[in-house]
Structures are given as structure tokens and as C-alpha cells.
């Protein structure tokens, strides 16, 4: 689909929320043990404890930590506006939760509460889904963007065939050639020694090589170059640039003349 500027911030917020949300799992496990023991005491007609409120309070505190982490990510990836919206939604949810928390404190229901099951199963299920889907979804979107670049590459090569050289620059207001991936804004183009680099940044899951940024590069002369810092072009010699580009791993691909590079 078309690029959406909120796609990556919202995706990162959801992923961070799922990871930090694992704080709820141990609370849910302890609460689940408590609920199970309460049921046993009820069947044996023994006096019941009234500690559900404390488990609920602990889960609310953990949820506040999750919400703050998500708001921080919103601020870091999209700015203050999205962070304020996230905080406002969190405060609204908190106000509704606190009203229910007061009810639990006044009178603990005798029936089994399903809440601890949610605290255990939902964060774990979301985390497992991330771990399971990270590689295939990353490969799918990377390959889809590469397929979408074919028209762009064909027109570049047609230009070279007609004029005997590759374009000096393709920087313009309208892009005209699109990766057709929601999280990939555009293709970038730069000349290399005898050919050119066409490249884009590939979104990655946080749990898949934590902190890694991936750039996918096409070069018909197999002179792939991608650098960490603009200042390097100005401060380093060509020999130094050739030795150190900033990436820590490079991967060959089945598509001819394509490679992808990992930066930390």
C-alpha cells in the first residue's frame, strides 16, 4: 500500500507495548494462583482471603509503566502531538480502571476472575506472534519493494542507453516511483563509480535483531555502498570511506545486484 507516515510510529509503539507488557505476566501468574486457591477454599467451605485488590493494583501500576513507555516511543518517533494523544488515552483508560478498582476494594466477588488469564495470555501471545512473524513479514515486504522498483530501474537503464550515462540526480518534489510498502517512504538514488545505488530502508521488528536498521541496495555494477553519516563524505578520504561504511553485516540476496546491510 501507499506510504503512511504514522505506520512506523504506531507499529513501534505497539511492539514496545507488547515487550514492556511482559511485566504483567508474573503478576498474572501470581494472581492466577491466588484465584485457584480461592476456589479450593470455597469448595472446602474455608474462610476466603480478600487480596484480589492488591493484585489488581499491581497490574494497574504495571500498566502505567507500559503506557509511559509507549508514550515515550510516540514522542521519539513522531513528536509531542502523538505523545500527548497517547497520554490522554492512557489517562482516560486509567480513570475507568480506577473506578472498577474501588469496587474490587470494597467487595471482592466470590466468582473466579478471568483478568489474570488476560494478563498472562495476551502479552505472551503478542510476543510469540512478533517472534514468529518477524522474519517472514520482513522478507515479504523487502521482496515486494524490490519488485516495485523494476519500473524505476528499467527507466534508469533506458536513460543510460539513450544518453550514455546515468542521471546525475533524481531528486524532485514528486517521487513518481513508489515502493508500494506502507512503512517504506521512497527509493533513494545516488551515483557510484561506474553505475548507481538505488536503495530504501526496510522496516524491522524490534525483537528481530534489536536496534538494527536495514538498508536494501541495488547496484548494477555490484559496487554497493551505503554509509552511516553524511559528514563522512566531507571528512574522510575515498580510501577511508571504502574501508568503513558503518554497517556491521551485509547479506547477499537471490535477486541479482541486490544486497541488504545492517546498521546498529
Residues 114-167: tens digit of each pLDDT = 889 999 999 999 989 888 988 899 999 999 999 999 999 999 999 999 999 999
C-alpha grid cell, residue 2 = 501507499
Q: What is the pLDDT of residue 103?
A: 75
In the prediction, which pLDDT does 112 show?
A: 80
Task: Give pLDDT < 50 ranges for the chain.
Answer: none
Residue 190 forms beta bridges with which residues? 197
Packed helices 150-163 and 115-148: angle between N→C axes, nearest 10 degrees: 20
* Distance of alpha carbon 167 from alpha carbon 104, whole angstroms: 69
Whole-model pTM: value is 0.82
pLDDT at 40: 80
For residue 149, what pLDDT is reported? 97
d(CA 138, CA 152): 22
Amino acid at each position: 500500500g501507499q506510504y503512511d507516515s504514522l505506520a512506523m510510529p504506531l507499529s513501534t509503539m505497539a511492539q514496545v507495548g507488547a515487550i514492556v507488557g511482559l511485566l504483567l505476566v508474573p503478576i498474572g501468574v501470581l494472581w492466577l494462583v491466588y484465584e485457584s486457591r480461592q476456589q479450593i477454599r470455597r469448595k472446602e467451605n474455608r474462610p476466603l482471603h480478600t487480596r484480589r485488590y492488591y493484585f489488581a493494583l499491581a497490574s494497574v501500576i504495571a500498566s502505567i509503566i507500559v503506557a509511559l513507555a509507549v508514550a515515550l516511543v510516540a514522542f521519539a518517533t513522531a513528536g509531542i502531538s502523538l505523545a500527548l494523544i497517547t497520554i490522554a488515552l492512557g489517562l482516560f483508560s486509567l480513570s475507568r480502571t480506577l473506578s472498577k478498582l474501588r469496587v474490587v476494594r470494597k467487595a471482592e466477588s466470590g466468582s473466579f476472575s478471568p483478568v489474570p488469564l488476560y494478563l498472562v495470555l495476551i502479552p505472551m501471545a503478542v510476543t510469540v506472534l512478533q517472534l514468529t512473524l518477524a522474519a517472514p513479514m520482513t522478507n515479504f515486504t523487502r521482496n515486494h519493494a524490490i519488485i516495485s522498483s523494476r519500473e524505476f530501474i528499467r527507466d534508469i537503464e533506458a536513460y543510460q542507453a539513450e544518453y550514455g550515462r546515468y542521471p546525475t540526480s533524481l531528486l524532485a518534489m514528486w517521487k513518481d516511483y513508489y515502493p508500494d510498502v506502507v512503512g517504506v517512504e521512497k527509493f533513494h538514488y545516488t551515483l557510484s563509480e561506474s553505475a548507481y545505488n538505488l536503495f530504501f530502508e526496510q522496516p524491522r521488528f524490534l525483537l528481530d535483531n534489536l536496534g538494527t536498521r536495514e538498508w536494501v541496495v541495488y547496484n548494477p555494477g555490484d559496487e554497493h555502498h551505503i554509509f552511516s553519516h553524511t559528514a563522512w563524505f566531507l571528512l574522510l578520504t575515498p580510501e577511508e570511506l571504502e574501508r568503513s561504511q558503518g554497517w556491521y553485516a551485509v547479506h547477499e540476496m537471490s535477486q541479482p545486484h541486490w544486497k541488504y546491510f545492517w546498521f546498529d
